[in-house]
């Protein structure tokens, strides 16, 4: 374990007040650049709620010096860039190969001072933000949280939604946003964080050259000194749980925000629940307790308390609510911000359960902990988990910089996490009881109930109809790639292709195959005292029989439910005591295994993995509990436009009896019996269809020997099951399907058809083509036109999903219901344009640079590196593929990309599925 997370960090403050944090990490030739502004929704009030988030979107629109979408510049640099707004801060981050460090600094300095906020651009980006907010409004959990948070913080901006409200966003004027920008986007209100492979002295000189001339602005004042959330969950880099709001990403956690229109609650009665009776699926209970700010000494004990209450199968609230069958899920989080904090518990309630009863059980369980106390064993386990989570979630440089930026802007101390972990180690059982008694009182809490009013959807089905697009729309001319080159800061682009490949460890993983057929790939990496494990078993949902759809996932998700020698609680306890994680997830082509541990605990992780894949016993009680949870999850999924659109899209492309057509239904899940689960496991879980990849701090020979001891006696019987994927014809014309989900605010559209598999000779050309078409929501043709110029979609992406046996080409977008028709027509026009006219040489070169740079950056992340090693082996690719992939991209020519466009883009033979509110049906999207 490292002595501190902030070793080698240097803090410098420039004369203009810019705080600079630098940390050299020389494990890979990449660097991350992040600018954190001390402003967020905390600096807002009703009427201008969401202006910080709106400004974050506008910061990508270009500057006086560079009047071009900044996403295009970041993409041309191959930067993995994004941004988010939180309660107390707004942050912009990019991770690139190290020779592009100065280019990123130049771009960030330019938009710190020179961003253009123009009326036309603001109007289109307001539409994008409203589309984004409508996506959140689709979630009952989001709407309930808005109501509860407004009640908890009636007179503080923490009670406002981070992203704003549609009513406020619609009213924003250019002058308001410009004033906000002038007030808060100043060097003395910002923190620049750089982590990665650079030399500190040289880089500080560059920073002074690039940022030093930017002036302070006096009007920033005290209001600019906000901060961001602190606690970081395992495996994520969110500054505080449930608080991020991003300009670019399409995947978001629920945001804490307000929703008062239908919430009825007496002003003086905390004990009376807020009740939302609205359309939706799933019955929800949310309880929020106010907590102190991040600097208060009770925070470490509160986090330990949270782990004891809700982390894992042995946690107190899981035992009381989920194991008892009352709820399908219980989650919780401590949020610690600059001016306050809160503890939030969310319970997804099982079918036919009474919310008042659940609330009573929850309160009693917490009171019971306060009365009887917690054990030293529970406290030590929670402390170990918490510490391991922090270490495991800070292995890549982007996450390390996020930690520094969060801590510096939250409490003004980048070493906060070190002090915090030291305080966690000192927490005693009496401290946990003390914070429960102090903060988790019945008087302090605010309770919210979500009670769905509509009949739950139990299956998805909609008869496709065929029609031509009737919307008459002509997209504007694509942004010329030469424009990008004109505004790009100087970089030695000629060296890009070779730069990182030459430097990223050319060491290839060692491959071993045991006599039973098990394959393992090992790559030692001593940069952090951790190990990442990734695995694949050929037992995916492609093997689901129609009448028992869901059985592959049933098996995978119940492997940890008990073995011949250990019950579910023993397994959970062994892993938790070491802060290790192990998960199994079934997808189409296999079961994905993911595991993490500190290096010293790898033997335990491997021992549990071997035990559950060889000896899982599937206790009847656990299977039944899982069935009820899965049925609840299914109801929630079928209330999500994205899931409904995805299902119908796939089933509209792949006919019945095709391995990809089948999805679980309530009926199919009810039919799965214990013996079916045992038989499926016996048939499909075999060493000769299993691959394990490990990257981390270990000795090669010791780990090989360890794996042989654990898995060597895993026996093979008979031949492995195989599947023949039938050939699927393209649709003859446009197929349009519009399932209606009442009262949803946002629509989700999937467009596409069958595509190429991984072995298609056009695979690398298709990747380049896709990068140009829709690989990035800001810099691609689709993004530039549909999202950026017209403001029709919050996010639009395309992808060639190339599997072993099949492939799918798809485009996904989220839109306001009234914009769906225009966005679909625009998308088809762009497909037509590229299909007929092709793309330019400059676009191809830019896309190749982006793909190569993104790939090299990804190899610096241990989880992505392990996954890449694994998937190459699963697909039977040469082990040199790890490093030759970039060469193959580099060799793609303009002619090959344009040929792929002619052969793979079919705008008039496409399935279009839009799921959303009934306005769509009335408008009859075609």
Q: Give pLDDT tens digits for 507-557.
A: 789 999 999 999 999 999 998 899 999 999 999 999 999 899 999 999 999
Q: Using one digit for the tens of pLDDT, what is the confidence trace for 661-710?
A: 999 999 999 999 999 999 999 999 999 999 999 999 999 999 999 999 99
Query: What is the mean predicted confidence (pLDDT) over 275-289?
Result: 93
Whose CA is closest to 85, among 209, 222, 257, 213?
257
Q: Using one digit for the tens of pLDDT, what is the confidence trace for 138-170?
A: 999 999 999 999 999 999 999 999 999 999 999
Under DSSP, the state recorded for 447 is E
Query: What is the mean predicted confidence (pLDDT) over 486-502?
Result: 61
Whose CA is closest to 702, among 599, 773, 805, 624?
599
Residue 235 has pLDDT above 70, yes or no: no
pLDDT (0 to 100) of residue 209: 97
How is residue 332 written in tokens? 């919780």
Provide DSSP, 179-215. Answer: HHHHHH-SGGGEEEEEEESS-HHHHHHHHHHHHTTSP
CA distance 224 to 110: 20
- Angle (CA) 586 647 82, round 5°: 75
pLDDT (0 to 100) of residue 477: 52
Residues pairing with 85 in the sheet: 90, 245
Choice between 647 and 495, residue whose per-residue pLDDT is larger: 647
pLDDT (0 to 100) of residue 203: 97
H or E element at residue 85: strand 80-85
How is residue 732 written in tokens? 């003859």
Q: Using one digit for the tens of pLDDT, what is the confidence trace for 582-595?
A: 999 999 999 999 99
CA distances from 1 to 303, 530, 601, 603 (A): 20, 8, 12, 17
How is residue 267 written in tokens? 């002003």
pLDDT (0 to 100) of residue 513: 96
Residue 64, judged by CB atoms within 10 A of its CB (0-12, 13-18, 19+), counts as exposed
pLDDT (0 to 100) of residue 472: 39
Residue 427 has pLDDT above 50, yes or no: yes
| Beta strand pairing call for 190-196 and 30-37 | antiparallel
pLDDT (0 to 100) of residue 486: 87
Residue 120 has pLDDT above 90, yes or no: yes
Percentage, residues of the chain above pLDDT 90? 79
pLDDT (0 to 100) of residue 218: 65
Model pTM score: 0.89
> Do the beta carbons of residue 525 and residue 863 sit within 8 Å?
no
Residue 467 has pLDDT above 50, yes or no: no
pLDDT (0 to 100) of residue 527: 86
The terminus-to-terminus CA distance of the chain in angstroms comes to: 58
Residue 603 has pLDDT above 70, yes or no: yes
Under DSSP, the state recorded for 415 is T
Q: Which of 447-461, 634-648, 828-842 has the lowest mean pLDDT?
A: 447-461
Mean pLDDT of the chain: 88
Residue 304 has pLDDT above 70, yes or no: yes
Query: What is the mean predicted confidence (pLDDT) over 441-447?
Result: 95
> Do the beta carbons of residue 590 and residue 537 sit within 8 Å?
yes
H or E element at residue 890: helix 881-890
Side by side, the strands of the sheet bearing 735-737 are: 465-466, 735-737, 911-915, 747-754, 807-815, 793-802
CA distance 686 to 605: 19
Sorted by sequence, the CB contacts under 8 Å of residue 701 that are 6+ apart come out as: none
How confident is residue 907, by pLDDT bands cut at 50, 70 and 90?
very high
Whose CA is closest to 237, among 16, 396, 455, 21?
396
Q: Using one digit for the tens of pLDDT, what is the confidence trace for 130-139?
A: 999 999 999 9
Alpha helices in 638-762 (DSSP H): 641-653, 666-671, 674-684, 700-711
Under DSSP, the state recorded for 305 is H
Query: What is the mean predicted confidence (pLDDT) over 242-269?
Result: 34
How confident is residue 743, by pLDDT bands cut at 50, 70 and 90?
confident
pLDDT (0 to 100) of residue 480: 64
How confident is residue 779, by pLDDT bands cut at 50, 70 and 90?
confident
Residues pairing with 446 in the sheet: 288
């Amino acid at each position: 374990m490292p002595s501190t997370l902030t070793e080698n960090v240097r803090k410098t403050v420039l004369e203009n007040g810019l705080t600079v944090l630098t940390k050299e990490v020389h494990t890979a030739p990449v660097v991350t650049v992040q600018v954190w502004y001390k402003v967020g929704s905390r600096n807002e009030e009703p009427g201008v709620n969401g202006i910080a988030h709106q400004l974050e979107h506008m910061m990508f629109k270009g500057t006086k010096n560079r009047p071009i979408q900044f996403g295009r510049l970041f993409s041309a640099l191959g930067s993995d860039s994004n941004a988010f707004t939180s309660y107390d801060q707004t942050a912009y981050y990019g991770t690139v190969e190290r020779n592009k460090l100065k280019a990123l600094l130049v771009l960030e300095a330019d938009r710190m001072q020179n961003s253009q906020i123009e009326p036309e651009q603001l109007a289109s980006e307001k539409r994008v933000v409203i589309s984004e907010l409508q996506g959140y409004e689709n979630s009952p959990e989001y709407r309930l949280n808005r109501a509860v948070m407004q009640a908890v913080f009636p007179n503080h901006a923490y009670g406002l939604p981070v992203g704003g409200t549609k009513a406020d966003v619609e009213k924003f004027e250019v002058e308001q946003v410009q004033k906000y920008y002038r007030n808060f986007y100043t060097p003395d209100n910002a923190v620049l964080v750089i982590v990665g492979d650079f030399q500190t002295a040289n880089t500080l000189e560059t920073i002074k050259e690039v940022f030093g001339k930017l002036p302070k602005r006096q009007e920033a004042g005290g209001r600019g000194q906000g901060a961001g959330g602190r606690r970081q969950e395992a495996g994520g880099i969110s500054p505080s749980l449930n608080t991020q709001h991003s300009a670019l990403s399409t995947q978001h956690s629920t945001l804490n925000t307000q929703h008062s229109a239908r919430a009825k609650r007496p002003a003086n009665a905390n004990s009376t629940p807020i009740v939302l009776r609205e359309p939706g699926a799933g019955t929800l209970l949310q309880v929020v307790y106010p907590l102190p700010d991040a600097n208060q000494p009770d925070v470490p004990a509160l986090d330990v308390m949270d782990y004891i209450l809700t982390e894992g199968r042995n946690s107190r609230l899981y035992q009381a609510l989920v194991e008892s069958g009352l709820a399908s899920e219980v989650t919780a989080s401590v949020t610690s911000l600059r001016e306050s904090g809160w503890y939030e518990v969310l319970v997804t309630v099982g079918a036919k359960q009474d919310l008042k009863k659940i609330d009573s059980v929850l309160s009693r369980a917490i009171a019971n902990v306060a009365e009887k106390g917690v054990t030293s064993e529970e406290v030590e386990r929670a402390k170990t988990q918490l510490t391991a989570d922090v270490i495991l979630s800070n292995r890549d440089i982007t996450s390390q910089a996020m930690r520094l930026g969060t801590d510096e802007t939250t409490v003004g101390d980048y070493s906060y996490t070190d002090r915090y972990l030291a305080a966690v180690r000192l927490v005693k059982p009496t401290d946990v009881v003390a914070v429960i008694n102090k903060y988790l009182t019945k008087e302090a809490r605010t309770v919210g109930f979500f009670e769905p009013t509509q009949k739950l959807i139990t299956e998805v089905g909609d008869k496709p109809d065929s029609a031509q697009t009737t919307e008459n729309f002509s997209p504007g001319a694509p942004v010329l790639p030469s424009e990008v080159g004109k505004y790009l800061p100087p970089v030695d682009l000629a060296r890009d292709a070779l730069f990182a490949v030459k430097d990223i460890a050319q060491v290839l993983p060692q491959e071993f195959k045991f006599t039973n057929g098990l394959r393992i790939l090992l790559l030692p990496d001593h940069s952090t005292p951790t190990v990442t494990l990734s695995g694949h078993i050929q037992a995916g949902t492609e093997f689901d029989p129609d009448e028992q759809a869901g059985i592959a996932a049933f098996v995978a998700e119940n492997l940890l439910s008990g073995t011949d020698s250990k019950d579910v609680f023993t397994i959970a306890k062994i892993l938790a005591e070491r802060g290790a994680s192990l998960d199994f997830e079934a997808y189409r082509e296999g079961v994905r295994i993911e595991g993490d541990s500190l290096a010293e605990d790898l033997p335990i992780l491997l021992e549990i993995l071997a035990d559950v894949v060889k000896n899982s016993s599937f206790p009847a009680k656990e299977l039944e509990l899982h069935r009820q949870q899965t049925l609840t999850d299914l109801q929630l999924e079928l209330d999500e436009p994205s899931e409904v659109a995805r299902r119908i899209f796939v089933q509209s492309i792949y006919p019945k009896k095709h391995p990809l057509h089948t999805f679980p239904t309530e009926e199919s899940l009810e039919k799965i019996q214990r013996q079916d689960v045992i038989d499926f496991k016996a048939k499909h879980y075999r060493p000769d269809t299993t691959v394990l990849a490990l990257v981390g701090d270990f000795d090669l020979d010791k780990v090989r020997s360890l794996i042989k001891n654990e898995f060597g006696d895993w026996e093979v019987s008979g031949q492995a099951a195989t599947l023949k994927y039938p050939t699927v014809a393209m649709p003859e014309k446009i197929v349009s399907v519009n399932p209606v989900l009442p009262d949803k605010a946002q629509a989700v559209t999937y467009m596409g058809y069958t595509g190429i598999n991984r072995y298609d000779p056009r695979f690398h050309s298709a990747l380049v083509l896709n990068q140009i078409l829709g690989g990035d929501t800001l810099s691609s043709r689709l993004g530039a036109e549909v999202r950026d110029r017209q403001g029709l979609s919050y996010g639009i992406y395309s992808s060639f999903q190339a599997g072993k046996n099949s492939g799918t080409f798809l485009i996904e977008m989220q839109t306001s219901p009234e914009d769906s028709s225009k966005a679909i027509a625009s998308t088809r026009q762009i497909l037509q344009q590229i299909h007929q006219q092709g793309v330019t040489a400059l676009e191809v070169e830019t896309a190749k640079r982006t793909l190569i740079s993104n790939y090299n950056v990804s190899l610096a992340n241990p989880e992505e590196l392990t996954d890449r090693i694994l998937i190459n082996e699963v697909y039977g690719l040469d082990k040199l593929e790890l490093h030759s992939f970039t060469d193959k991209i580099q060799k793609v020519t303009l002619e090959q990309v344009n040929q792929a466009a002619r052969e793979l883009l079919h705008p008039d033979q496409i399935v279009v599925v839009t799921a959303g509110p009934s306005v769509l049906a009335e408008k009859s999207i075609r």
